[in-house]
Amino acid sequence: MPLAPTDAASRRVVFHRFGGPEVLEIERRAVPTPGPGQVLVRVAAAGVNPVDWKLFSGDPMNDPYERSLPSGNGYDFSGTIDAFGDDVIGWRVGERVFGGLRYEAQADHLVIDPDQLVRVPDGLPLLVAGALNVVGRTAVASVESQRIGEGDVVLIGGAAGGVGILTAQLCLRRGARVLGTASARNHALLRRLGIHPLTHGGGLADEVRAAAPGGLTAVLDTVGHGTVDLAMALGVPPDRINTVADYDARRRHPGVRGVGGAKAGARELTLIADLLAEGSIELPIDSVHPLEDVREAYRRSIAGHATGKIVITTDRGS
């Protein structure tokens, strides 16, 4: 059931207690006012990430940020600049921007330091830009962690997910041969992008050996589910394995790397936005949900089989 907010100027998603998607509510507030050095962004789209539901679940294992309640929700956003505080230079009203603002993004408006904004290049829809912050930074950082290049044969664990599909395409652009695990329904998509699809599950080791008889040179895991253990069993050196999703596996296998999105910023987001805008890579949109359907969007994310990105819109020209 969509949430039905009461009348007021600006909506935002909040939670007053920790738990599953049922804790998310829509609240109304006055449009926030940017202070000195800040800009007001009218949000168009807000990507859904697994980290969001790990944080609103309140599990201390997942929340290094010790969030207090009540809290706003979300991280990724795109939109247009609506107003400035004093002392903001170099930006104009109406400019299309995207980025990340943890616990604030799922709202009609947000206030942010413009140093945290990235311009949306011409040709890139706000819907896609709004889903880019976490997965874009993570994909670039993961590929860079192994300096993937020509001659590499890389396995991507979870190649149809938000992080995985970008990671795989960046490896291809660097001249690597790319294998990726995904459910059978995503294999045609992977093939079209130039990724050799493999089915996750019991027979994966044999599938990898058959598809890459010379062996793998690197594994970039974006999903967990035993990908790191498999890589070790196949003889991939630990320092040529990077996971953004399985920190237990790193404890079990010293030397396995864990380079994620924190290692990348505006420069990497600009790079990946430009590649998307020029059509050199793709970020499929799994589904689009109005802000009022935020709980449904997270149920879909928690189910764990999104193809590309789940996005929330405010219906403001995305």
Residues that bind ligand NAP (CB under 6 A): 49-51, 134-135, 138, 157-158, 160-164, 181-183, 186, 200, 222-223, 225, 244-245, 260-261, 301, 304-306
Our CB check for ligand NAP shows the closer of 31 and 211 to be 211
How far is residue 131's CA from residue 47's CA, in Å, rounded to a whole number?
A: 4
CB of 90 to ligand NAP, least distance (A): 29
CB of 56 to ligand NAP, least distance (A): 13
Our CB check for ligand NAP shows the closer of 81 and 155 to be 155
CB 5 within 8 A of CB 28: yes
Our CB check for ligand NAP shows the closer of 218 and 230 to be 230
Our CB check for ligand NAP shows the closer of 73 and 80 to be 73
CB of 57 to ligand NAP, least distance (A): 12
Our CB check for ligand NAP shows the closer of 39 and 141 to be 141
CB of 22 to ligand NAP, least distance (A): 19
CB of 273 to ligand NAP, least distance (A): 17
CB of 50 to ligand NAP, least distance (A): 4
Strands 109-112 and 39-47: antiparallel
Handedness of CA 81, 84, 87, 89 (dihedral sign): positive
- How many other C-beta atoms are found inside a 10 Å radius of the C-beta of residue 146? 22
Our CB check for ligand NAP shows the closer of 160 and 208 to be 160
CB of 198 to ligand NAP, least distance (A): 10
Handedness of CA 79, 164, 225, 192 (dihedral sign): positive
- How many other C-beta atoms are found inside a 10 Å radius of the C-beta of residue 264? 20
CB of 111 to ligand NAP, least distance (A): 25
- The four Cα atoms 59, 61, 67, 71 give a dihedral, to 10 degrees, of -40
Place of tokens 């907010």: 5
Our CB check for ligand NAP shows the closer of 54 and 173 to be 54
CB of 81 to ligand NAP, least distance (A): 27
Our CB check for ligand NAP shows the closer of 222 and 318 to be 222
Task: For residue 11, count CB atoms less than 10 angstroms from its CB and return exposed for 0-12, middle for 13-18, buried for 19 or more.
Answer: buried
Our CB check for ligand NAP shows the closer of 34 and 180 to be 180
